[in-house]
Amino acid sequence: MKFFININQEKLIELAPEARLTDGAVMDYVYWLCSSPSQEVENCRIVVREEKYTWVNYDWLLQDMPLLRGKSKSTLTPVFKRLEKWGFIKTHQIASGRKYVHLVDKADLLFRNQNSPVRKTKQGRFANETNPVTKDQTTKSPAEAQKNYEGLSKLNAIKQKFFSKSQM
């Protein structure tokens, strides 16, 4: 389940004045899905004219977005058509009926600060390099990595003893 919906509402209304809350929520889901580095999501991608498209399973979308309650797969089709008309996505449907989505650069305007440096992720979207988790990460030497592993092993042994005693 996707617990949060994050979208620049002001920018969405600026770029698509007739946008609805549902459009923003679906766009957030699509952006999250298409930007995912997950191998499981990577397996749901195809390449069309040298662009990566990600399969959007409407059933999963509805399950992962409980605020869309009452929506059916047929009510999502117009949402995707509007998002494509506004220039946030491109879609590609294959013979089986599966719909694939490619994020267009304009989609970044709804989620990114234009003045921030960015780095590429799997589908060619961007991740904010000012994130303290990803900024200034250095590779540890083998000796440091081994020391961390040994410390973690000791900690796990202590936890194991503690939990085995507490269950008696």
Classify residue 87 by its DSSP letter: T
d(CA 77, CA 121): 27
- What is the chain's Cα-based Rg? 21
- Three-state DSSP at 73 gives helix
Tell me, yes or no, if the pTM score tops 0.85: no
Residue 114: predicted pLDDT: 47
Quick one: pLDDT at residue 155? 59
Residue 128: predicted pLDDT: 46
Element (H, E) at 120: strand 118-120
| Average pLDDT for runs of 10 along the chain of length 168 | 88 94 94 92 92 93 86 89 97 92 93 59 50 46 55 62 60
Q: How much is the pLDDT for 137? A: 44
